[in-house]
Structure 1
């Protein structure tokens, strides 16, 4: 790799974001769980380097490798819309360490109603923070809306879990182990749209290829939020569906029966292994910078764009969030 950084475009994607493979490489890079634990000083350095590179003021002697590392830290910790530092728990780079603990405990303690209620509450608290942190920041959300979203999603998750636990009492044990996943999927279908309802009501900002703002679109918001819901469910699915099957078989082994205290740490570790791969896979399912044909937008917005740009703008872009 060339070491000259004077003409380096730090915002140019390292990999082709129009392909799943390119997005997968990108998200393996920015969701690296190690970046969640770098120091505040290192994050400040990363932001400074990115800003200097954008301004064409890279310090002499800076290598491209250093700029790439700075951009990796910047993308992992700073919001793409606002440039503000995100809280650590809400960052996608914290999904593996945070998610593995919560997933492991949800899958381990699924038999009693109090345990189900507690861990679904913990999980929805975590999800609400992640959803808020990774929203499209151009659409503000009030404290009241956040509280309503949080309460609604938590209620949906708890009701689904408790209801299905009662329903599956006479079913095979493995069926009961899958209840947490169904609850998580149901809650995601509520939590994310509720947390981002302002985008659905007012629309999100769509831009042309030159980043000129063209207007607000509710249809674009609906597509972006739907893609995020699908991604979150896919992120959780392999671990929460396959891990119960694995644990069901392991727990029948003579050795595992003698060391029951290892069941929980083993389950947490295995959940982490699944998430290590599924976080970038799920994030990479759809482009973060989505593109829509103008013909799909609301008629009024189509007219506005055509009146100003004619046929020169055939598609629009928007940030769907994560």
Structure 2
């Protein structure tokens, strides 16, 4: 069995333990791990026995951290550096900060919108469940369509405001401060649903507790994509909401009126702080290896096993 998959199956499914695991996995140094170090960590895990002393135990814990942070739990392949879980916050955090700034035009708004949705799409595809080779081109085309459509819908309120010359203070506050929060949350969830649509259309692997694949299930695929979409929407929606709330109170302090640059620095710090907390929370909101009852699956899969509960890779 793939070691990472076995780890998530055997580990306790409590939220607190998952959160602590993700704090280790999201260590930024994991982004730069070389293939040689990853290979060495994987070889250690495959030969893992009862540790003889505390030093060996520390080595195994470090190997687990490196493996979980860099290797896809379903395919066993090394994840590209930019799309490893530890790279998510360093890339999306500054983009969310730019997203929250007041735009002077459509072009300025287009940059953060495009890159947030482009990165979200590729991150979802890379960390989702694998697909048959014949669907790979279809998935990439679908990914490009997702990026274009979500970017357009993201800037559509600004387009409408400029098109119909809606320049009132109330309208500007709604379009620039209020509407972007639920809109980005919805589009982030929508992004996951569309870019990983092959999983609930064609099914994903479900397996028993020993890692033996039972079959492909559309029900499990729908559950995996739905859970990930919800966590992604909550991640961006909550991060933007809390950042806006803190910024609202910061703008009303005397020190900000005396030094406007201080407000920009504090907004950046607040955004990164909130995002830094919400990323592990959203990743551990649901188990990485999901559990589904056999009776909830398709009849043809139910007839192939007597196991009460089966497992699937949820993805990120």
Q: TM-score if structure 2 supplies the norm length?
A: 0.85
Report the CA distance shift for 1:11/1:201 in structure 2 as closer, same or farther (over 3 A).
closer
RMSD: 3.0
2:206–2:215 CA contact under 8 A, matched in 1? yes
Report the CA distance shift for 1:132/1:196 in structure 2 as closer, same or farther (over 3 A).
same
1:106–1:120 CA contact under 8 A, matched in 2? yes
Report the CA distance shift for 1:73/1:174 in structure 2 as closer, same or farther (over 3 A).
farther
Instruction: Give yes or no for the alignment of 1:121 onto 2:114.
Output: yes
Report the CA distance shift for 1:244/1:166 in structure 2 as closer, same or farther (over 3 A).
farther
- Secondary structure at the aligned position of 1:148 is classed as helix
Once the two structures are TM-superposed, the CA of residue 149 in structure 1 deviates from its matched residue by: 2.7
2:143 is aligned to 149
Distance 1:116 1:136 in 2: 32
Distance 2:156 2:5 in 1: 49
Distance 2:149 2:73 in 1: 31
Match of 1:48 among 32, 40, 44: 40
- Secondary structure at the aligned position of 2:100 is classed as helix
Deviates most, 161-170 or 79-88: 161-170
Once the two structures are TM-superposed, the CA of residue 128 in structure 1 deviates from its matched residue by: 1.4
Distance 1:11 1:67 in 2: 15
Once the two structures are TM-superposed, the CA of residue 55 in structure 1 deviates from its matched residue by: 3.1
Once the two structures are TM-superposed, the CA of residue 49 in structure 1 deviates from its matched residue by: 2.8
Once the two structures are TM-superposed, the CA of residue 262 in structure 1 deviates from its matched residue by: 4.2
1:110–1:180 CA contact under 8 A, matched in 2? no
Aligned residues: 305
Deviates most, 72-81 or 51-60: 51-60
Distance 1:253 1:154 in 2: 40
Structure-to-structure mapping, 1:123-142, within 5 angstroms: 123-138=116-131, 141-142=135-136
1:3 is aligned to none
Once the two structures are TM-superposed, the CA of residue 134 in structure 1 deviates from its matched residue by: 0.8
Once the two structures are TM-superposed, the CA of residue 222 in structure 1 deviates from its matched residue by: 0.3
Match of 1:68 among 51, 54, 61: 61
Distance 2:132 2:16 in 1: 30
Once the two structures are TM-superposed, the CA of residue 78 in structure 1 deviates from its matched residue by: 1.7
2:274 is aligned to 274
Structure-to-structure mapping, 1:157-172, within 5 angstroms: 157-163=151-157, 166=160, 170=168, 171=170
Distance 2:216 2:6 in 1: 25
Q: Please give the per-residue CA displacement for 1:48-69, whole angstroms capped at 9, x wherever unaligned.
A: 1322331359999962102211
Distance 2:8 2:314 in 1: 17
Once the two structures are TM-superposed, the CA of residue 172 in structure 1 deviates from its matched residue by: 6.8
Distance 1:295 1:59 in 2: 40
Deviates most, 242-251 or 50-59: 50-59
For structure 1, list consecutive stretches of 5 or more residues without a partner in the other structure.
1-8
- Secondary structure at the aligned position of 2:312 is classed as strand
1:288 is aligned to 288
Higher helix share: 2
Report the CA distance shift for 1:137/1:81 in structure 2 as closer, same or farther (over 3 A).
same
1:92 is aligned to 85
